[in-house]
Amino acid sequence: MMPSKKDPYANAAQKVIGLYALLLFTGRSYSLPQLAGLFHCSKQTVLRMVEQIETSHRLELETWYEGGRKWFRARPLARRPNVTLSVEDLQQLLLCRDIVWRLFPKPLGDKLTETIAKTAVLLPNYEDRAEALDSVTHFQPKGIVDYSGSREILDTLLRAIRERRLCDIIYRAPEWPRARTLTVAPFRFIVFREGFYVRCRPEAALDPPDPVLDRTLAVHRMRKVVVKDRKFKPIPDADLPSSEAFGLAREAPFAVEVDFVPKAAVYVRERIWSGDQRIIDKPDGGITLRFTATSRPEVLAWVLSFGGEAELRVPVDIRQELLRRLRVMMRAHQE
């Protein structure tokens, strides 16, 4: 039996077109491992796609080696490509906006709306702009963080990430009695459960690079961010924690096994909890979910959220902590 493709929904031609568009329209540099991950294929397949693009003479590519990786970038075009957007394209942009814009402070949300409105000039028929900019999405969050006072912090972080500059961040973690000043290199925003986080590398871990010491800081716990003059070298995406495992915090990966009753099984089956998850059907209509996680507190809170409709089997140490928490909850709720 032939092994299944990494991405069975995209044929070779679609991937070549996708690579061509990515290099042409972003102007960014991409490493060979990055492209293999983006297109869900092997490095050899990426090299073949690059060769096809180069032999077509429609796009000139620059290639070089840096940090033990091969890199690719499209050479700047003498003329800008003639591009138009369809009504469907703008509606998809609006959908993305509607999913995240209420997380932003109002001025940033308004700026996002204004920017999308400006793209309406790229419609082939400008009279279609009213239809294209008509939002059909309703945002209904629960427990959303209030970022109304974080505009300056978000702007400063964006600048620091773009310019690759170190920052002094005055930060207050829940377990700290008072705020501390952290000198870090912020290199990526992370959106998790309707909240903004920043992946940072401490100054002491920059040279030599030590990704193990990277930290994820919550934007709403930052009191002040000051950009410093010192710049840092690009931090490769390979150093980012994988989004394939369950959890924002990063511990050593561990296996999780949870049983769900039939009522909860429908909800669990409809979602992806980790890239390697496995669902096993049970005779009573329930399921067993097996997956990889990287945060014990998040697994514990997640299982507790199902009440009596879930039973954690593995790992044993979290199961024991769950039982302890349940005893505390029972005492707290006794009449």
Q: What is the CATH number of the domain that holds 307?
A: 3.30.70
Q: Residue 83 burial by CB count (10 A; 0-12/13-18/19+): exposed, middle or buried?
A: exposed
Supply the pLDDT for residue 4: 41
Q: Closest by alpha carbon to 238, among 45, 66, 62, 22?
A: 66
Supply the pLDDT for residue 244: 77
**Structural domain containing residue 226:** 151-239
Report yes or no: 185 and 235 within 8 Å, Cβ to Cβ. yes
140 in any annotated domain: no
Tokens of 19: 């690579």
Question: What is the CATH number for 215?
Answer: 2.30.30.520
**96 in the same domain as 51:** no
Q: Closest by alpha carbon to 103, among 191, 12, 210, 232?
A: 191
Q: Which residue has the higher pLDDT, 255 or 40?
A: 255
Question: What is the CATH number for 56?
Answer: 1.10.10.10
Question: How far apart, in Å, are the Cα atoms of 34 and each of 13, 207, 237, 276?
Answer: 19, 23, 7, 20
Measured distance CA(180)–CA(202) in Å, rounded? 13
Tokens of 110: 């308004």
82 in any annotated domain: no
Res. 172: pLDDT tops 90: yes
Mean per-residue pLDDT of the chain: 87
| Position 3 confidence tier, pLDDT thresholds 50, 70, 90 | very low
**66 in the same domain as 94:** no
Supply the pLDDT for residue 282: 96
247 in any annotated domain: no
Measured distance CA(311)–CA(317) in Å, rounded? 14
| Position 241 confidence tier, pLDDT thresholds 50, 70, 90 | low
How many domains is the chain partitioned into structurally?
A: 4
Least confident of 94-103, 109-118, 263-272: 94-103
